[in-house]
Protein backbone atom coordinates (compact mmCIF):
# COMPACT_ATOMS: atom_id res chain seq x y z
CA UNK A 1 0.00 0.00 0.00
CA UNK A 2 1.26 3.47 -0.88
CA UNK A 3 1.14 5.96 1.96
CA UNK A 4 1.90 9.69 1.63
CA UNK A 5 3.93 11.48 4.28
CA UNK A 6 4.83 15.11 4.95
CA UNK A 7 2.07 16.76 2.91
CA UNK A 8 -0.65 14.13 2.47
CA UNK A 9 -1.96 14.11 -1.08
CA UNK A 10 -5.16 12.59 0.31
CA UNK A 11 -6.16 15.87 1.93
CA UNK A 12 -9.79 16.70 2.60
CA UNK A 13 -11.66 17.55 -0.52
CA UNK A 14 -9.72 15.20 -2.79
CA UNK A 15 -6.41 15.61 -4.58
CA UNK A 16 -4.01 18.34 -3.53
CA UNK A 17 -4.28 21.31 -5.84
CA UNK A 18 -1.04 21.92 -7.68
CA UNK A 19 0.10 25.49 -8.17
CA UNK A 20 1.33 26.21 -11.70
CA UNK A 21 5.10 26.77 -11.36
CA UNK A 22 6.07 30.37 -11.92
CA UNK A 23 9.18 29.26 -13.78
CA UNK A 24 7.07 28.24 -16.77
CA UNK A 25 7.29 31.88 -17.82
CA UNK A 26 10.16 32.14 -20.30
CA UNK A 27 11.15 35.54 -19.04
CA UNK A 28 11.29 34.40 -15.43
CA UNK A 29 13.17 31.25 -16.45
CA UNK A 30 15.88 33.26 -18.20
CA UNK A 31 16.29 35.57 -15.22
CA UNK A 32 16.41 32.57 -12.86
CA UNK A 33 19.06 30.83 -14.91
CA UNK A 34 21.21 33.94 -15.07
CA UNK A 35 20.86 34.43 -11.34
CA UNK A 36 21.72 30.80 -10.74
CA UNK A 37 24.84 31.00 -12.91
CA UNK A 38 25.91 34.19 -11.17
CA UNK A 39 25.44 32.55 -7.77
CA UNK A 40 27.43 29.47 -8.75
CA UNK A 41 30.23 31.57 -10.26
CA UNK A 42 30.45 33.74 -7.17
CA UNK A 43 30.50 30.71 -4.87
CA UNK A 44 33.18 29.02 -6.98
CA UNK A 45 35.33 32.16 -7.06
CA UNK A 46 35.05 32.46 -3.31
CA UNK A 47 36.12 28.85 -2.92
CA UNK A 48 39.16 29.29 -5.14
CA UNK A 49 40.08 32.46 -3.28
CA UNK A 50 40.28 30.53 -0.02
CA UNK A 51 42.72 28.15 -1.67
CA UNK A 52 40.50 25.08 -1.38
CA UNK A 53 39.02 23.47 -4.47
CA UNK A 54 36.96 21.12 -2.30
CA UNK A 55 35.40 24.09 -0.57
CA UNK A 56 34.74 25.72 -3.92
CA UNK A 57 33.04 22.61 -5.27
CA UNK A 58 30.95 22.23 -2.14
CA UNK A 59 29.99 25.88 -2.21
CA UNK A 60 28.93 25.52 -5.83
CA UNK A 61 26.89 22.46 -5.03
CA UNK A 62 25.16 24.08 -2.08
CA UNK A 63 24.41 27.18 -4.11
CA UNK A 64 22.94 25.06 -6.89
CA UNK A 65 20.78 23.03 -4.52
CA UNK A 66 19.56 26.13 -2.73
CA UNK A 67 18.65 27.70 -6.04
CA UNK A 68 16.80 24.62 -7.30
CA UNK A 69 14.89 24.34 -4.03
CA UNK A 70 13.86 27.98 -4.38
CA UNK A 71 12.52 27.11 -7.83
CA UNK A 72 10.28 24.42 -6.30
CA UNK A 73 12.56 21.36 -6.49
CA UNK A 74 12.22 20.50 -2.81
CA UNK A 75 10.92 17.50 -0.90
CA UNK A 76 7.25 18.04 -0.15
CA UNK A 77 5.90 14.46 -0.20
CA UNK A 78 7.30 11.02 0.59
CA UNK A 79 5.32 8.01 -0.61
CA UNK A 80 6.04 4.56 0.83
CA UNK A 81 5.04 1.22 -0.67
CA UNK A 82 5.24 -2.08 1.24
CA UNK A 83 5.64 -0.83 4.80
CA UNK A 84 3.92 -2.92 7.49
CA UNK A 85 6.32 -3.44 10.40
CA UNK A 86 8.98 -0.79 9.79
CA UNK A 87 8.36 2.29 11.98
CA UNK A 88 7.75 5.47 9.99
CA UNK A 89 10.22 7.49 12.05
CA UNK A 90 12.95 4.93 11.35
CA UNK A 91 12.29 5.04 7.64
CA UNK A 92 12.28 8.82 7.40
CA UNK A 93 15.49 9.06 9.40
CA UNK A 94 17.12 6.54 7.05
CA UNK A 95 15.96 8.55 4.03
CA UNK A 96 17.95 11.50 5.33
CA UNK A 97 15.71 14.22 3.87
CA UNK A 98 13.36 16.59 5.63
CA UNK A 99 10.45 18.60 4.37
CA UNK A 100 11.83 21.48 2.34
CA UNK A 101 15.15 19.78 1.58
CA UNK A 102 16.46 20.18 -1.97
CA UNK A 103 15.17 17.09 -3.73
CA UNK A 104 18.17 17.02 -6.09
CA UNK A 105 20.39 16.80 -3.02
CA UNK A 106 18.90 13.49 -1.84
CA UNK A 107 21.54 10.77 -2.30
CA UNK A 108 19.34 7.92 -3.53
CA UNK A 109 22.06 5.25 -3.32
CA UNK A 110 23.07 6.13 0.24
CA UNK A 111 19.41 6.40 1.30
CA UNK A 112 18.70 2.94 -0.11
CA UNK A 113 21.64 1.43 1.78
CA UNK A 114 20.48 3.00 5.05
CA UNK A 115 16.94 1.73 4.51
CA UNK A 116 18.11 -1.81 3.71
CA UNK A 117 20.08 -1.76 6.97
CA UNK A 118 16.84 -1.37 8.97
CA UNK A 119 15.85 -4.54 10.90
CA UNK A 120 12.64 -5.33 8.99
CA UNK A 121 13.80 -4.42 5.46
CA UNK A 122 15.19 -7.04 3.08
CA UNK A 123 15.26 -4.87 -0.05
CA UNK A 124 14.32 -1.35 -1.07
CA UNK A 125 14.34 1.21 -3.85
CA UNK A 126 14.30 5.02 -3.61
CA UNK A 127 13.13 7.17 -6.51
CA UNK A 128 12.80 10.88 -7.19
CA UNK A 129 9.63 12.09 -8.88
CA UNK A 130 10.27 15.71 -9.78
CA UNK A 131 9.58 18.32 -8.73
CA UNK A 132 8.76 17.45 -5.12
CA UNK A 133 8.15 13.75 -4.40
CA UNK A 134 10.29 10.83 -3.17
CA UNK A 135 8.93 7.28 -3.57
CA UNK A 136 10.28 4.51 -1.34
CA UNK A 137 9.44 0.89 -2.08
CA UNK A 138 10.41 -1.71 0.50
CA UNK A 139 10.18 -5.47 0.81
CA UNK A 140 9.92 -6.52 4.44
CA UNK A 141 11.20 -9.75 5.91
CA UNK A 142 8.67 -12.48 6.70
CA UNK A 143 8.91 -14.00 10.22
CA UNK A 144 8.52 -17.78 10.28
CA UNK A 145 9.61 -18.78 13.80
CA UNK A 146 10.63 -17.61 17.26
CA UNK A 147 14.14 -18.59 18.36
CA UNK A 148 14.43 -19.04 22.12
CA UNK A 149 17.97 -18.52 23.35
CA UNK A 150 19.29 -17.58 26.80
CA UNK A 151 15.80 -16.81 28.01
CA UNK A 152 14.96 -14.38 25.22
CA UNK A 153 12.98 -14.70 21.98
CA UNK A 154 14.11 -13.47 18.57
CA UNK A 155 12.18 -13.53 15.31
CA UNK A 156 13.57 -15.64 12.48
CA UNK A 157 12.76 -14.79 8.87
CA UNK A 158 12.25 -16.94 5.78
CA UNK A 159 15.97 -16.75 4.99
CA UNK A 160 16.87 -18.23 8.37
CA UNK A 161 18.21 -14.92 9.67
CA UNK A 162 17.21 -13.22 12.90
CA UNK A 163 15.34 -9.90 12.91
CA UNK A 164 17.26 -7.91 15.51
CA UNK A 165 15.30 -5.65 17.83
CA UNK A 166 11.88 -6.66 16.49
CA UNK A 167 8.94 -6.71 18.88
CA UNK A 168 7.97 -10.39 19.24
CA UNK A 169 4.71 -9.79 21.12
CA UNK A 170 2.58 -9.84 17.98
CA UNK A 171 4.10 -13.15 16.81
CA UNK A 172 3.56 -15.41 19.81
CA UNK A 173 1.69 -17.96 17.69
CA UNK A 174 4.78 -18.77 15.61
CA UNK A 175 6.66 -22.02 16.02
CA UNK A 176 9.24 -21.80 18.83
CA UNK A 177 12.65 -23.26 18.02
CA UNK A 178 15.57 -23.89 20.39
CA UNK A 179 19.20 -24.79 19.84
CA UNK A 180 22.34 -23.42 18.21
CA UNK A 181 21.93 -23.45 14.45
CA UNK A 182 18.15 -23.80 14.65
CA UNK A 183 17.30 -20.54 12.77
CA UNK A 184 19.09 -21.70 9.62
CA UNK A 185 16.90 -24.81 9.53
CA UNK A 186 13.61 -23.20 10.52
CA UNK A 187 12.24 -22.92 6.97
CA UNK A 188 13.01 -26.56 6.13
CA UNK A 189 11.34 -27.61 9.39
CA UNK A 190 8.21 -25.60 8.61
CA UNK A 191 8.01 -27.10 5.13
CA UNK A 192 8.34 -30.59 6.55
CA UNK A 193 5.58 -29.99 9.10
CA UNK A 194 3.32 -28.34 6.52
CA UNK A 195 3.56 -31.47 4.39
CA UNK A 196 2.00 -33.61 7.15
CA UNK A 197 -1.44 -32.35 8.13
CA UNK A 198 -1.99 -35.06 10.71
CA UNK A 199 1.00 -34.06 12.85
CA UNK A 200 2.10 -30.59 11.70
CA UNK A 201 -0.67 -28.49 13.32
CA UNK A 202 0.00 -30.17 16.69
CA UNK A 203 3.65 -29.06 16.82
CA UNK A 204 4.23 -26.03 19.04
CA UNK A 205 8.00 -26.07 19.30
CA UNK A 206 11.16 -27.85 18.22
CA UNK A 207 14.65 -28.35 19.65
CA UNK A 208 17.62 -28.71 17.33
CA UNK A 209 19.61 -31.43 19.13
CA UNK A 210 23.36 -31.80 18.71
CA UNK A 211 23.28 -29.75 15.52
CA UNK A 212 21.94 -32.77 13.66
CA UNK A 213 18.28 -33.61 14.41
CA UNK A 214 14.97 -32.31 15.80
CA UNK A 215 12.93 -33.08 18.89
CA UNK A 216 9.36 -31.88 18.37
CA UNK A 217 7.18 -30.57 21.19
CA UNK A 218 3.53 -31.37 20.49
CA UNK A 219 0.45 -30.07 22.24
CA UNK A 220 -0.36 -32.06 25.36
CA UNK A 221 3.30 -32.24 26.42
CA UNK A 222 4.25 -34.96 23.92
CA UNK A 223 7.85 -35.15 22.68
CA UNK A 224 8.63 -36.67 19.28
CA UNK A 225 12.25 -37.56 18.60
CA UNK A 226 13.09 -37.45 14.91
CA UNK A 227 16.13 -39.14 13.37
CA UNK A 228 18.96 -37.18 11.76
CA UNK A 229 18.43 -39.17 8.55
CA UNK A 230 15.13 -38.85 6.65
CA UNK A 231 13.09 -37.01 9.31
CA UNK A 232 10.32 -36.45 6.74
CA UNK A 233 9.91 -40.18 6.25
CA UNK A 234 9.82 -40.68 10.02
CA UNK A 235 7.10 -38.07 10.34
CA UNK A 236 5.06 -39.86 7.67
CA UNK A 237 5.40 -43.08 9.65
CA UNK A 238 4.14 -41.35 12.77
CA UNK A 239 1.16 -39.97 10.86
CA UNK A 240 0.31 -43.47 9.65
CA UNK A 241 0.47 -44.85 13.20
CA UNK A 242 -1.66 -41.98 14.43
CA UNK A 243 -4.37 -42.73 11.88
CA UNK A 244 -4.47 -46.41 12.86
CA UNK A 245 -3.55 -46.50 16.56
CA UNK A 246 -4.47 -42.94 17.71
CA UNK A 247 -1.16 -42.74 19.58
CA UNK A 248 -1.47 -39.09 20.53
CA UNK A 249 -4.68 -39.76 22.44
CA UNK A 250 -3.29 -42.60 24.57
CA UNK A 251 -1.43 -40.68 27.29
CA UNK A 252 1.84 -40.76 25.38
CA UNK A 253 4.81 -38.84 26.78
CA UNK A 254 7.57 -39.64 24.26
CA UNK A 255 7.54 -41.04 20.73
CA UNK A 256 10.97 -42.08 19.50
CA UNK A 257 11.34 -42.39 15.72
CA UNK A 258 15.12 -42.68 15.60
CA UNK A 259 14.99 -46.39 14.73
CA UNK A 260 14.01 -47.03 11.13
CA UNK A 261 12.13 -50.29 11.76
CA UNK A 262 9.99 -49.33 14.76
CA UNK A 263 8.36 -46.60 16.82
CA UNK A 264 9.29 -46.64 20.50
CA UNK A 265 6.67 -45.10 22.78
CA UNK A 266 6.83 -44.14 26.43
CA UNK A 267 3.62 -43.36 28.21
CA UNK A 268 2.47 -42.81 31.79
CA UNK A 269 0.02 -45.29 33.28
CA UNK A 270 -1.16 -44.96 36.88
CA UNK A 271 1.89 -43.00 37.94
CA UNK A 272 4.44 -45.39 36.41
CA UNK A 273 6.17 -45.48 33.05
CA UNK A 274 5.15 -48.05 30.50
CA UNK A 275 7.03 -48.68 27.28
CA UNK A 276 5.81 -50.25 24.08
CA UNK A 277 7.13 -50.57 20.56
CA UNK A 278 5.30 -50.80 17.27
CA UNK A 279 7.23 -52.45 14.48
CA UNK A 280 7.23 -50.84 11.11
CA UNK A 281 4.56 -52.29 8.88
CA UNK A 282 2.20 -53.22 11.76
CA UNK A 283 -0.30 -50.58 10.81
Domain boundary among 104, 121, 140: 140
Contact yes or no for 260/280 (Cβ under 8 A):
yes
**9 in the same domain as 125:** yes
| Angle ∠(184,185,189) on CA atoms, nearest 5 | 150
Task: Give phi and psi for 91, each to the nearest 5.
Answer: -65, -45
Q: CA 3, CA 1: separation in Å to the nearest integer? A: 6
pLDDT tens for each residue of the chain, 283 residues long: 455 554 433 333 444 444 434 444 445 555 555 565 566 666 566 655 555 555 655 655 666 667 666 677 888 999 999 999 999 999 999 999 988 888 888 899 999 999 999 999 999 999 999 899 999 999 999 999 999 999 999 999 999 999 988 889 899 999 999 999 999 999 999 999 999 999 999 999 999 999 999 999 999 999 999 999 999 999 999 999 999 989 899 889 999 999 988 889 998 655 444 455 555 544 4
**152 in the same domain as 113:** no
What dihedral do alpha carbons 149, 150, 153, 157 form, nearest 10°?
A: -30
CATH number for the domain including 232?
A: 3.40.50.11690
Domain boundary among 140, 171, 201: 140
**130 in the same domain as 150:** no
> Exposed (0-12), middle (13-18) or buried (19+): which is 211, by Cβ within 10 Å?
exposed
Q: CA 261, CA 170: separation in Å to the nearest integer? A: 42
Domain that holds residue 39: 2-13+20-140
**174 in the same domain as 81:** no
How many separate domains does the chain show? 2
**159 in the same domain as 131:** no
**125 in the same domain as 173:** no
**120 in the same domain as 181:** no
**154 in the same domain as 135:** no
Amino acid sequence: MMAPWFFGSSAKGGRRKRVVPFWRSRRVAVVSILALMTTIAAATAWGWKTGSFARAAEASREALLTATAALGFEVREVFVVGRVQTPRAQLLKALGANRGSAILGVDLTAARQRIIALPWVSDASVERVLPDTVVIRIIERKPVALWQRHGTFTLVDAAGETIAGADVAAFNTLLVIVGEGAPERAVALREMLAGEETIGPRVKGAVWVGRRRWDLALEGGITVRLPDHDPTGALHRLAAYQRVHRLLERGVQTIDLRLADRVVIRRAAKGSDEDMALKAGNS
